[in-house]
A and B are shown apart, each in its own frame.
Chain A
């Protein structure tokens, strides 16, 4: 989920026209190592499925058919049907939307808030603000991610939105610690001192000077964490705390397929494969972009 907006900082004056951004994006992708390019392809495929897939699916993902239960692969039902006779292919595609969009928007929320808190903590590293933030985040960090999700869902109640909030809360301390760590190396550098010398306010220093300099690290680590977020969402849905049936999501599909695992494993197995491919794609992209996003390899 590294957006092209984070990639274009070193490209000179953009060519005008509708194609400028896609062309730039294409050039950046082509400059990645092969594994990164494959990762980008996987992510484009997954994102495309999430965004437009649900409009194109051949069957209603929630309509049941008792005579069509547990069917194998066929021209009518590409990936067969599940224990309720629902089309597995359609459910998988629609589930992509729920899983991907839910986790990435939860992660964006968490990143937006967490990065800012982390920067404020780093800027106030010598006083009580930093201590307070660090202690709070340390306490939050002691909960394993899924337990944290369970706690939040238990407090707020079930539902898609609450699962998103649960994921955002679970990732918040990680975002804070990470951005604070990256920013700590920056706050002592001379350009921050220079900003103070010309009279920049603390909020200006945080937003104009620190934020742009942690974005590279944070966007690549967030991409990696998206994989963990997907796992958390699927775990919560698997536990029955996430997306509620009959709405499909990958985790929920794994769970619903369990009862018929020995008769027809595909309804469970296919979402697992989808999760696997998505996580591999994310990791390949992060790996591939590490070098080309690092300003230090460009500088010298």
Chain B
């Protein structure tokens, strides 16, 4: 589909995914507008692959993650798991196969449950194994994510942010999923802890062959972990390419602006001229006509205001939605 080198059939893919939230006003809750949080996102992840999704706050990347796990139902479009529309998949099977890791390690763990209870809960819900097997599995998961077995009876408040995120990862791993949606899993952590958690995720991928959809706003972390990267702007994907191709040769002006603002982990690369974006992210209730980026684009021409750019292959599977690329 949109990908360059899908290794085998994609495990999770979405086609023209849309999520519009109704804006309600007044006593009778009349619908006065639609927030177009996500407006036509198509992407795919192959087994064992990491797809990074980057974009600034409010661009809809977390909403995409929620729809991929079916925590939110899409307004339009479909999500397919191993080629089958998830609306037709039994929820039980979906829950086993697609898991999610959350951004905030503080609010994502129930403060009244011990770490062990949190990790064992998916096994209890899906009635997997005997109580002894579940206990052994929990201990195994704790070891795997770098926690001690003695941590099992502790409450979340006794852990640091990084350790809490490890508990969240263990919970996501409990059901042996094939895809994990990582919704900004490290952005709430200290820089040194970020690296540990990202490396843990990469090790787990190597061992277990899990595919990740890694949502973040930090481009250097996405570079570190992803095989392919999608850049989102105001509910749409504007560029999707191999990590190397995207970072060395960004074609969309938005991607260029993002990359020019971020210190890259490659000191040998020449830093081009900095592109500064002017203005704020436009409101998704009333997105700009034509190319959604034209209001802030440094190189916009007149047709950008009227024509919606096609999301097309700009060579070797480097997908971009820009008239000028």
Q: What would 26 A/B residue contacts be, using CB atoms closer than 8 Å?
A: A13-B153, A189-B108, A190-B104, A191-B111, A193-B100, A194-B102, A194-B171, A196-B71, A197-B69, A197-B100, A198-B121, A198-B174, A198-B175, A199-B91, A199-B92, A199-B95, A199-B122, A199-B126, A200-B125, A201-B125, A204-B125, A208-B113, A209-B113, A213-B111, A295-B157, A299-B111
8 A Cβ contacts from B209-238 to A: none
Q: In the assembled complex, how far is the CB of residue B99 from the closest CB belonging to chain A, in whole angstroms?
A: 6
Residues of A close to B109: CB separation below 8 A = 191, 194
For the complex, give the distance between the alpha carbons of A68 and B171 in Å.
74
Interface 0/1 of A207-221, CB less than 8 Å to B:
011001100000000
For the complex, give the distance between the alpha carbons of A201 and B102 in Å.
20
Q: Are A189 and B122 in contact (CB under 8 A)?
A: no
For the complex, give the distance between the alpha carbons of A13 and B114 in Å.
12
Q: Are A194 and B100 in contact (CB under 8 A)?
A: yes
Q: Are A197 and B157 in contact (CB under 8 A)?
A: no
Inter-chain contact total with CB atoms closer than 8 Å: 70
A211 (CB) vs chain B CBs: closest residue: B112
Q: Are A213 and B110 in contact (CB under 8 A)?
A: yes
Contact of A193 among B71, B112, B175 (CB under 8 A): B71
Residues of A close to B178: CB separation below 8 A = none
For the complex, give the distance between the alpha carbons of A193 and B67 in Å.
12
Q: Are A194 and B168 in contact (CB under 8 A)?
A: yes
Task: Judge if A9 is at the interface, Cβ distance under 8 Å.
Answer: yes
Q: In the assembled complex, how far is the CB of residue B296 from the closest CB belonging to chain A, in whole angstroms?
A: 31
For the complex, give the distance between the alpha carbons of A114 and B91 in Å.
31
Contact of B112 among A13, A194, A200, A213 (CB under 8 A): A213
Q: Are A194 and B108 in contact (CB under 8 A)?
A: yes
A12 (CB) vs chain B CBs: closest residue: B153
8 A Cβ contacts from B80-118 to A: 91-92, 95-96, 99-100, 102-104, 106-113
Q: In the assembled complex, how far is the CB of residue A34 from the closest CB belonging to chain B, in whole angstroms?
A: 27
Task: Judge if B155 is at the interface, Cβ distance under 8 Å.
Answer: yes
Known: A190-B103, A204-B125, A298-B157. Contact between A197 and B95, CB under 8 A? yes
Q: In the assembled complex, how far is the CB of residue A210 from the closest CB belonging to chain B, in whole angstroms?
A: 9
For the complex, give the distance between the alpha carbons of A212 and B110 in Å.
9
Q: Are B111 and A295 in contact (CB under 8 A)?
A: yes
For the complex, give the distance between the alpha carbons of A197 and B110 in Å.
14
For the complex, give the distance between the alpha carbons of A299 and B156 in Å.
9
Contact of B171 among A13, A193, A198 (CB under 8 A): A198
For the complex, give the distance between the alpha carbons of A172 and B107 in Å.
30
Q: Are B122 and A198 in contact (CB under 8 A)?
A: yes
A197 (CB) vs chain B CBs: closest residue: B100
